[in-house]
Structure 1
Amino acid sequence: MNEKIIALRRELHRYPEVSNCEYKTTDRIINFIDEYKPDEVIRLGDKGVLFVFKGAEQGETMMFRCELDALPIKEISGLEYASVNEGVSHVCGHDGHMAIVAGLAQKISTDRPTKGKVILLFQPAEEVEQGACDVMENVNFKNNEPDYLFALHNIPGLTKNRIVLKNGSFASGSKGMTVQLTGKTSHAAEPQDGISPADAISQIISKLHVLRTDKTLFSDFILLTIIHIQLGEISFGTSPGYAEIRITLRAFENEDLTLLTSLCEKIVKEVANQEKLACEISYTEVFPATMNNNACVGIVEQAAKQNGLDVEYIKTPYKWSEDFGYYTEKFNACYFGLGSGYEQPQLHNPDFDFPDDIIETGINLFYTIYKSTLQS
Structure 2
Amino acid sequence: MDLTPQDITGLTRFRHDLHRHPEVSGFEAQTAQRVQAALAPLGPDQVVTGLGGHGVAAVFRGDTPGPTVMIRAELDALPILQNPGAAHRSLTDGVAHLCGHDGHMAILLGVARGLSRHRPASGRAILMFQPAEEDGSGAAAVLADPAFAPLRPDWAFALHNMPGLPLGQVQVSAGPMNCASCGLRLRLMGRTAHAATPDTGLSPTAALFDLIPALQALGPGGALTPGFRLVTLTHARLGTPSFGIAPGEGEVWVTLRSLTDADMTGLKAQAQDLAHRQAAKHGLQLDLSWHDDFAACHNDPQAVAQIEAALTDAAIPFGPTDGPMRPSEDFGRFAGSGARCAMFLLGAGEDSPALHDPGYDFPDTLIAPGVSAFTAILRRILG
Assess same fold via TM > 0.5. Answer: yes
Mapped pair 1:373 → 2:373? no
2:38 & 2:250 partners in 1: Cα distance?
Answer: 50
Equivalent residue, structure 2, for 1:177 = 184
Mapped pair 1:357 → 2:370? no
- Aligned pairs for 1:37-48 (under 5 A) are 37-45=43-51, 47-48=54-55
Runs of 5+ in structure 1 lacking a partner? none
Which SS does the other structure have where 1:44 is aligned?
strand
1:181 & 1:224 partners in 2: Cα distance?
Answer: 19
Mapped pair 1:132 → 2:168? no
Which region of structure 1 is more displaced relative to structure 2, 206-215 or 108-117? Answer: 206-215
Partners of 2:216 and 2:230 within 8 A in 1 = no
Which region of structure 1 is more displaced relative to structure 2, 113-122 or 365-374? Answer: 113-122
- Aligned pairs for 1:307-346 (under 5 A) are 307-330=314-337, 331-346=339-354
- Out of 31, 41, 44, the position equivalent to 2:37 is 31
What TM-score, normalized to structure 1?
0.95
Change in CA separation of 1:21 and 1:193 when aligned onto 2, cut-off 3 Å: same
Shift of 1:359: 0.9
Equivalent residue, structure 2, for 1:11 = 17
Partners of 1:219 and 1:256 within 8 A in 2 = no
Q: Give the aligned length.
A: 374
Change in CA separation of 1:373 and 1:267 when aligned onto 2, cut-off 3 Å: same
Shift of 1:296: 0.4
Counterpart AA for 2:367: I
Which SS does the other structure have where 1:285 is aligned?
strand
Deviations 1:268-289 (A, max 9, x none): 2222211111222210110011
Partners of 2:73 and 2:101 within 8 A in 1 = yes
Shift of 1:133: 1.8
Partners of 2:160 and 2:345 within 8 A in 1 = yes
Counterpart AA for 1:24: Q
Equivalent residue, structure 1, for 2:100 = 93
Which SS does the other structure have where 1:152 is aligned?
strand
2:317 & 2:152 partners in 1: Cα distance?
Answer: 31
- Aligned pairs for 1:1-376 (under 5 A) are 1=5, 2-45=8-51, 47-213=54-220, 219-330=226-337, 331-375=339-383
2:334 & 2:19 partners in 1: Cα distance?
Answer: 26
Shift of 1:332: 1.3
Shift of 1:214: 8.5
Partners of 1:290 and 1:322 within 8 A in 2 = yes
Runs of 5+ in structure 2 lacking a partner? none
Shift of 1:191: 2.5
Deviations 1:202-226 (A, max 9, x none): 11112223333388xx933211111
Deviations 1:261-311 (A, max 9, x none): 122222222222111112222101100111121110111111112222222
Shift of 1:37: 0.8
Shift of 1:163: 1.2
Counterpart AA for 2:32: T
2:127 & 2:213 partners in 1: Cα distance?
Answer: 48
What TM-score, normalized to structure 2?
0.93
Counterpart AA for 2:265: T
1:220 & 1:315 partners in 2: Cα distance?
Answer: 18
Deviations 1:116-162 (A, max 9, x none): 11110111111122211221121221121111011111000101111
1:235 & 1:31 partners in 2: Cα distance?
Answer: 53
2:40 & 2:213 partners in 1: Cα distance?
Answer: 57
Which SS does the other structure have where 1:282 is aligned?
strand
Shift of 1:192: 2.5
Partners of 2:70 and 2:128 within 8 A in 1 = yes
